[in-house]
Amino acid sequence: MSEMKKATREGFGEEIVALGKQNKDICVIDIDIGKSCKTGEFVKQLPKQHINVGIAEQNGAGVAAGMATCGKIPFVVTYAVFGSLRMCEMIRQEICYPNLNVKIACSHGGVTPANDGASHQSIEDMGVLRTIPNMTVIMPADYVAAKKLTAAAAEMYGPCYLRFTRDAIPVIYDETAEFVIGKANVLKEGKDVAIIANGDTVVLALKAAEELAKEGIQARVVDMHTIKPLDVEEVNYCVDHIGKIITVEDHNILNGLGSAVCEVAAEKGKGIVKRIGIQDQFGQSAPYERLLAINGITVENIVKTAKELYSL
């Protein structure tokens, strides 16, 4: 892990410019929060591939669908809470049902818009969108992952939700790391407990694994950057070979990564899964770290939970 810190939204903002230069069909549809979502460079360098529909999310999704039918690859860019819930029915009806090549690329996922309060925090988005057929749901764990998964999303055909976050977080991948949509990255091998995380919480899982190692507990750390399609093979491996799994996410524990992993384990009828995430409660205006702590999304709680599982 390098000392460098960068926000995943920055990775998106840089990569989308590179992609737009390579492929003139790639467009950005902003909804008046482009500055915050880091599309400023795209606007400057590729103005002919840029649309700003103003504060009108539903329309943004519909315009994107229409453009996709004419061969464009639109990236609709807004905050996660609006890009999932405000646009939800348009995403279902006009993007996923006709299986159009539209990407919903959102910043401020999870509780990272901390001081803005619950209205701007997005704790349901991935769960809601993963229940819609044809949709792919991705959350990169760092700046490098954000760039590579943005490129992979542009490359694949079909609707895709990309969830980025506000804050600078440690860069854990080097530039040579490979990403395949739907294929988890195992960041650390371990036989005693599996920690499956996504997004900004992957670094917490890595730190927890370091702490556990000091006490002789070997944790396997998995970056499950795609929750749909879930890497079922990896979850099965964890269930079969370790049997003790912790999921960590900045998302409601209902219907997000934890639920997706539980579904696989339950169908196998094996293993035990402990979910760490937002405890089905709204946030409030507070520092990001406090909001995580209130919900037990901390290195300490991952370590504690791992020890409990290990002792079973």
Residues carrying an active site annotation:
57
Residues 61-80 touching other proteins, rule: CB under 8 A, are 61-72, 74
Is there a contact between 61 and 78 (Cβ–Cβ < 8 Å)?
no
Is there a contact between 219 and 192 (Cβ–Cβ < 8 Å)?
yes
Say which residues have a Cβ less than 8 Å from residue 137's Cβ, sequence separation at least 6: 126, 129, 130, 160, 161, 163, 226, 227, 228
Distance CA 203, CA 215 (A): 19
Q: How far is the CB of 50 from other proteins (least distance, A)?
A: 10
Size of the site for other proteins (CB under 8 A): 29
Complete DSSP assignment for 155-186: HS-S-EEEE--SS-EE--S-TT---BTTB-EE
**Is 31 or 141 the residue whose CB approaches other proteins more closely?**
31
Cα end-to-end span (Å), the chain: 31
Q: How far is the CB of 93 from other proteins (least distance, A)?
A: 4
Q: Which of 90, 105, 160, 184 binds other proteins (CB under 8 A)?
A: 90
Extract the runs of DSSP E, i.e. beta strands, from the chain.
5-6, 26-30, 50-52, 73-79, 103-107, 136-138, 160-163, 169-170, 185-188, 193-197, 219-223, 226-228, 244-252, 272-278
**Is 39 or 259 the residue whose CB approaches other proteins more closely?**
39
Q: Which of 5, 54, 155, 272 binds other proteins (CB under 8 A)?
A: 54
Considering the rule CB under 8 A, would residue 93 count as an interface residue with other proteins? yes
Distance CA 253, CA 251 (A): 6
**Is 134 or 285 the residue whose CB approaches other proteins more closely?**
134
Considering the rule CB under 8 A, would residue 47 count as an interface residue with other proteins? no
Q: Which of 4, 45, 98, 290 binds other proteins (CB under 8 A)?
A: 98
Residues 11-40 touching other proteins, rule: CB under 8 A, are 27
* Stretch in the footprint of other proteins (CB under 8 A) among 32-40, 57-65, 145-153, 231-239: 57-65
Considering the rule CB under 8 A, would residue 312 count as an interface residue with other proteins? no
Considering the rule CB under 8 A, would residue 53 count as an interface residue with other proteins? yes
**Is 2 or 69 the residue whose CB approaches other proteins more closely?**
69
Considering the rule CB under 8 A, would residue 284 count as an interface residue with other proteins? no
231, 80, 222, 99: which is closest to 162 by C-alpha? 80
> CB neighbours (10 Å) of residue 310?
16
* Stretch in the footprint of other proteins (CB under 8 A) among 43-51, 194-202, 209-217, 267-275: 43-51
Q: How far is the CB of 80 from other proteins (least distance, A)?
A: 20
The residue ranges that bind other proteins (CB under 8 A) are 27, 48-49, 51, 53-54, 56, 58-59, 61-72, 74, 89-90, 93-94, 97-99
